[in-house]
């Protein structure tokens, strides 16, 4: 029994009849002198009446960029967005956005914060008040009309944000990770309330597009899920969820869909960079995550030991290590980059070297790690080569930071250099002196 279908990309006719249609969308961010950053490429999305669609993708895959373009807050580099057949050319009044954390005005009450959306539209004061009170009531903030944001919990503030979006009676509600800043219980209550209001047809909207990096949230809430790849972002799979609402996370059919999506999101193609994984870019320009060698060793030990014996599903590992799968991804992908593991369809399998590492003593581990670091991480090889070639065997970190910034932002460059430095220090491949900011081959410890 299949409760979900994987669908093919929308045909042009489907796109044209949709409430929101995104066609051939492409977006690049200009990065000054360096090459531009292609964030979205060849994106097609159709959102129909009465649908909740989730856009599911890793952090940095361009989801927020896409939402901002649909809302008319910024123009795309190429492609078209239409809402109800009208091309979007600027801030669109038919759509409203809810963000991860809401920028409420601290000096305004709940009621005033909700009304402000209507003021911009030139709605008369009496009508404004009436509609704002209705939205506040609908969203469960009754009795808090005259409270100030600082007097509210995070969940209540997010409700104010939702009321402010709904009060303008948009055709489409765009939600950008609206639950991710809330604690688990508050988030679940708000999701359930929203789904109830939707099912009862009480919200003055015709469709919802929800951006999330949380697979279970997508399966819980949506009629369809668009799986987004990174670098550049594009829709790589479309999954129709046919389970009736309300859905139960423990239902085997629910778990089956979640598993299927995990597998798709970790499906192997040729290289981590092309796979839309953690590592944006390639070669020296590859963005690396900050994953400590302790974590990497621990992960290899966990996979190598019982009950896995060298092969484990990400899900089993995540629950064993009490991590979210989202947190585990970059760690597993780092092992793959270092050729200590292979990652395919949600399964981590240690390579022979990974097995040797897990079984090895401290010194054997360090030397194996150093070999793989220099062989498979271009930045580490580059730093090592510069140090080997210089008579002083010393070089300032700032030089490598500059080189990295030709390929990535300052903060990604810092993260990448910091990660490689800590790996090299562990492996004794080269040393870094914090006070002088110099790399060296001297007494690497």
Q: Which residues bind Mg ion (CB under 5 A)?
A: 64
Give the bridge partners for 209, in sequence order.
53, 174
Q: Decide: helix, strand or coil at residue 225.
A: strand
Q: Which residue, 117 or 276, is less far from ligand ADP as judged by CB?
A: 276
Q: Which residue, 10 or 232, is less far from ligand ADP as judged by CB?
A: 232
Question: Whole-angstrom Cα distance, residue 178 to residue 175?
Answer: 6
Whole-number minimum distance, CB 330 to Mg ion, in Å? Answer: 17
Q: Which residue, 39 or 317, is less far from ligand ADP as judged by CB?
A: 39
Question: Whole-angstrom Cα distance, residue 149 to residue 294?
Answer: 42
Q: Which residue, 212 or 304, is less far from ligand ADP as judged by CB?
A: 212
Pairing of strands 207-212, 172-176: parallel
Whole-number minimum distance, CB 231 to ligand ADP, in Å? Answer: 8
Question: Whole-angstrom Cα distance, residue 233 to residue 264?
Answer: 15
Whole-number minimum distance, CB 180 to Mg ion, in Å? Answer: 9
Whole-number minimum distance, CB 417 to ligand ADP, in Å? Answer: 17
Question: HSE-up of 118 (CA within 13 Å, CB side)?
Answer: 23
Residue 62 within binding range of ligand ADP, rule CB under 6 A:
yes
Residues 6+ apart with CB under 8 A from 354: 300, 303, 304, 310, 335, 339, 340, 341
Whole-number minimum distance, CB 65 to ligand ADP, in Å? Answer: 3
**CB-based burial label for 287 (10 Å; 0-12, 13-18, 19+):** buried
Q: Which long-range contacts (CB under 8 A, 24 or more apart) does 195-203 make?
A: 195/220, 195/221, 195/245, 195/246, 197/138, 197/139, 198/52, 199/245, 202/138, 203/138, 203/166, 203/173
Instruction: Choose the contact partner of 61 out of ligand ADP, Mg ion, none; CB within 5 to 8 A by kind.
Output: ligand ADP
Q: Which long-range contacts (CB under 8 A, 24 or more apart) does 192-198 make?
A: 192/246, 193/139, 193/140, 194/162, 194/221, 195/220, 195/221, 195/245, 195/246, 197/138, 197/139, 198/52
Instruction: Choose the contact partner of 245 out of ligand ADP, Mg ion, none; CB within 5 to 8 A by kind.
Output: none
Instruction: Choose the contact partner of 37 out of Mg ion, ligand ADP, none; CB within 5 to 8 A by kind.
Output: ligand ADP
Q: Which residue, 54 or 113, is less far from ligand ADP as judged by CB?
A: 54
Q: Which residue, 26 or 339, is less far from ligand ADP as judged by CB?
A: 26
Question: Binding-site residue total for ligand ADP (CB under 6 A)?
Answer: 11
Q: Which residue, 235 or 373, is less far from ligand ADP as judged by CB?
A: 235
Q: Are 245 and 371 in contact (CB under 8 A)?
A: no
Site string for ligand ADP, 182-201 (x = CB under 6 A): --------------------
Instruction: Choose the contact partner of 39 out of Mg ion, ligand ADP, none; CB within 5 to 8 A by kind.
Output: ligand ADP
Site string for ligand ADP, 384-403 (x = CB under 6 A): --------------------
- Of 53-61, 366-374, 377-385, 431-439, the segment contacting ligand ADP by CB under 6 A is 53-61
Binder to ligand ADP among 21, 52, 57, 94 (CB under 6 A)? 57
Q: Which residue, 58 or 384, is less far from ligand ADP as judged by CB?
A: 58
DSSP E strand stretches across 273-427:
311-313, 341-344, 347-350, 394-396
Question: Whole-angstrom Cα distance, residue 25 to residue 44?
Answer: 7
Residue 104: how many other CB atoms lie within 10 Å: 21
Whole-number minimum distance, CB 261 to ligand ADP, in Å? Answer: 16
Q: Is the dihedral of CA 178, 184, 189, 193 positive or negative?
A: positive
Q: Which residue, 254 or 329, is less far from ligand ADP as judged by CB?
A: 329
Whole-number minimum distance, CB 409 to Mg ion, in Å? Answer: 15
Query: Which residue, chain included where needed, has tokens 């910034």?
Result: 405
Binder to ligand ADP among 21, 44, 64, 421 (CB under 6 A)? 64
- Of 63-71, 264-272, 380-388, 418-426, the segment contacting ligand ADP by CB under 6 A is 63-71
- Residue least distant from Mg ion (Cβ): 64
* Cβ-count burial 112-142 (b if 16+ within 10 Å, e if not): bbbbbbbeeeebeeeebbebbbebbebbbbe
Residues of span 24-43 touching ligand ADP by CB under 6 A = 29, 37, 39
Q: Which residue, 38 or 152, is less far from Mg ion as judged by CB?
A: 38
Binder to ligand ADP among 21, 54, 65, 212 (CB under 6 A)? 65
Residues that bind ligand ADP (CB under 6 A): 29, 37, 39, 57, 59-65
């Amino acid at each position: 029994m299949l409760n979900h279908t994987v669908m093919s990309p929308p045909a042009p006719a489907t796109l044209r009849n949709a409430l929101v249609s995104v066609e051939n969308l492409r977006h690049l961010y200009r990065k000054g002198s360096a090459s531009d950053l292609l964030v979205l490429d060849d994106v097609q999305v159709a959102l129909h009446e009465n649908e909740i669609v989730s856009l599911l993708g890793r952090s940095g895959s361009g989801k927020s960029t896409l939402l901002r373009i649909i809302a008319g807050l910024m123009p795309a580099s190429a492609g078209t967005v239409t809402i109800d057949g009208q091309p979007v050319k600027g801030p669109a009044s038919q759509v409203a956005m809810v963000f991860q954390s809401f920028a409420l005005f601290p000096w305004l009450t709940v009621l005033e914060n909700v009304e402000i959306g209507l003021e911009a539209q030139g709605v008369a004061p009496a009508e404004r008040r009436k509609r704002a009170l209705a939205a506040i009531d609908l969203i469960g903030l009754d009795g808090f009309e005259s409270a100030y944001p600082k007097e509210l919990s995070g969940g209540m503030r997010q409700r104010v944000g939702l009321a402010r979006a709904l009060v303008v009676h948009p055709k489409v509600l765009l939600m950008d990770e609206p639950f991710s800043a809330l604690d688990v219980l508050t988030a679940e209550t708000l999701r359930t309330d929203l789904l109830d209001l939707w099912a009862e047809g009480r919200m003055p909207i015709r469709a919802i597009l929800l951006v999330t990096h949380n697979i279970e949230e997508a399966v819980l809430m949506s009629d369809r899920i668009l799986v987004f790849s990174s670098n550049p972002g594009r829709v790589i799979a479309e999954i129709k969820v046919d389970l009736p609402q309300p859905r139960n996370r423990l239902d085997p059919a629910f778990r089956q869909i979640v598993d299927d999506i995990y597998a798709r999101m970790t499906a192997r193609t040729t290289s981590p960079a092309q796979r839309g994984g953690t590592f944006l870019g390639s070669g020296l320009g590859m963005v690396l995550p900050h994953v400590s060698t302790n974590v990497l060793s621990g992960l290899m030990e966990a996979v190598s030991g019982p009950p896995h014996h060298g092969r484990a599903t990400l899900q089993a590992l995540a629950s064993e290590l009490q991590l979210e799968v989202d947190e585990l991804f970059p760690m597993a992908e780092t092992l793959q980059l270092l050729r200590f593991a292979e990652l395919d369809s949600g399964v981590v399998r240690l390579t022979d070297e990974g097995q040797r590492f897990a079984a090895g003593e401290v010194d054997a581990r360090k030397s194996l790690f150093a070999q793989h670091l220099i062989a498979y991480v271009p930045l580490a090889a580059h730093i090592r080569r510069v140090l080997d070639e210089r008579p002083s065997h010393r070089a300032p970190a700032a030089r490598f930071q500059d080189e990295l910034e030709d390929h990535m932002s300052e903060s990604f460059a810092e993260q990448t250099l910091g990660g490689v430095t800590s790996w090299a220090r562990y492996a004794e491949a080269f040393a870094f002196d914090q006070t002088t900011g110099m790399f060296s081959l001297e007494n690497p410890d």
